[in-house]
A and B are shown apart, each in its own frame.
Chain A
Amino acid sequence: MLMNAFVKVFLRGSSLLVALLALQSAVFASVDDAQSFALQAAEPYVKEGFQVREDYWGGDLGAGEKKAVRQQLFKGNEYWFWLGTEVERAKISVHIYDSDGKLAEQSDGWQKGHFAAAHVIPKSTGSYFIIVSVEESPEERTHWALVYGFR
């Protein structure tokens, strides 16, 4: 009797654990997928001499939501920031502002579906704000990942 109760509890606990692990793996897989798209966007720039950092930012946002990432940039370097999401019909954007909130990016940034990129040649060394945004998405939450490169 006691054994049966133990087995039931054990099985319920195991099922819950498996479900949680599956959910966790799905969440991480999506952020990783978003990162893979961001890195794909970066790929052509490597040939132009940009060193792409291994580190990245990621998360999820609802349609119309924004996230600001603070980044130390150095005058003399040139930077590209690439944003990606795995949600194909999402529209995302990335823009760069200086510490006074003034748009600091070059005019050759681009945005196409689930990719976006912004380019900056800092006029001064200091903190900059990289604003990522999910403008439209068919999903309730849209995973995003931001990578950057410099030369």
Chain B
Amino acid sequence: MFPFTKYLKLSAIAVSSLTLCAHGAQAPQHIDIKQLSKTVEDVVVPLPNEIFGALNKLGAVNWKEHVRSDKGTNFTERPRIALLLGAVIADGFVAVQAEDAPAVKDIGQRVLALAKGIGVGNSITPHAKAIIEAADKRNWEGVRQELDRTQTSVQQAMNEVHDEKLSQLVSLGGWLRGTEVLTSVVTKHFSADGAELLHQPDLLSYFQTRLQAMPEFKLPIIREIEDALVQVKPLIDVGSARIPPESVKKINEITTRLGYGIVTRD
């Protein structure tokens, strides 16, 4: 994958003209989802800032109180590093929301150290540098973009060396940290729309399936997460019903416990 900025520089093709002659294509009003089962690709895991953006629209959030200074222990086990890396990248998105430049710079350094620990430091060095530079200039959009690139580059580098499982743990670490922050915000200022952002049953099933395929990772934290997802599933898989405040609080307790487990040694 190429960085997006490369394409911004490609001005020769006047794509903007396409929108001028845009037209809506005919599409059936309804399709049979069951027939798609064999052709459906895996879900793409949303970045925390996708959820935070939706949360922001529901009302002002004091992001500063969610910035985390403890960036975790130095682990040697690669699955643990992968989980922590995902969580730290998610912390980066929180720090961007809070516009906390020192925290973003610390996170940039931490991401690089973790990426080195997992053997993908080379592909992350330019992104870590760009994160720190953008934070210095308080270019929050630039930081956001680099955090996205960091996660994609880490995962791409892992996939290239067939470490897909570690790549999935990076996503999982980020999702858990994002969910911890989301539930913390919604618990403090409950709204039905805020709670609805937790309605992610397919994503949760996706992570459950992936964890079940990792029996070789005999780490307590992995099994703890697996058990916790079983508890979370009925709380968010509510169909068209609303997710009540007590469910949000329960999910927050679970994800906070897991978050602590991810950053600290067993």
Residue ranges of A at the interface with B (Cβ–Cβ < 8 Å): 32, 35-36, 39-44, 46, 51-57, 66-72, 74-77, 93, 95, 97, 99-103, 105, 107-112, 115-117, 124-127, 129, 131, 150-151
Contact = CB atoms under 8 A, between A and B. Distances in A.
A95 B46 contact: no
A110 B41 contact: no
Contacts of B60: none
A36 B4 CA distance: 9
A68 B43 contact: no
A127 B15 CA distance: 30
Nearest to A109: B24
B144 A51 contact: yes
Contacts of B43: 70-72, 127
B107 to A, nearest CB: 18
Contacts of A125: 54, 196-200
Nearest to A148: B44
A129 B54 CA distance: 20
Given A39-B7, A110-B24, A112-B18, A70 B54 contact: no
B57 to A, nearest CB: 5
B69 interface: no
25 contacts: A35-B2, A40-B10, A41-B15, A42-B7, A44-B19, A51-B53, A51-B145, A57-B44, A70-B40, A72-B44, A72-B45, A75-B197, A76-B53, A97-B31, A97-B33, A103-B30, A108-B22, A109-B24, A110-B18, A111-B25, A124-B199, A126-B202, A127-B201, A129-B36, A131-B31
Nearest to B196: A125
B116 interface: no
B23 interface: yes
B19 A36 contact: no
Nearest to A132: B41
The secondary structure that dominates the B interface is mixed
A101 B31 contact: yes
Given A44-B16, A51-B145, A108-B24, 4 more contacts: A39-B7, A40-B13, A70-B40, A76-B197
A44 B7 CA distance: 11
Contact of A70 (B42, B141, B197): B42
A146 to B, nearest CB: 9
B161 interface: no
B18 A77 contact: no
A74 B44 contact: no
A125 B41 CA distance: 19
Contacts of B13: 40
Nearest to B202: A127
B28 interface: yes
Given A75-B197, A110-B24, A131-B31, A150 B50 contact: yes
B23 A110 contact: yes
Given A43-B7, A54-B1, A150-B50, A99 B33 contact: yes
A129 B43 CA distance: 10
Q: Which 8 pairs across A and B sit closest by C-beta, in order of nearness? A: A110-B22, A76-B54, A54-B152, A111-B25, A39-B7, A74-B54, A95-B27, A68-B36
A77 B21 CA distance: 26
A84 to B, nearest CB: 10
Contacts of B4: 39, 52, 54
A107 B24 contact: yes
B10 A76 contact: no
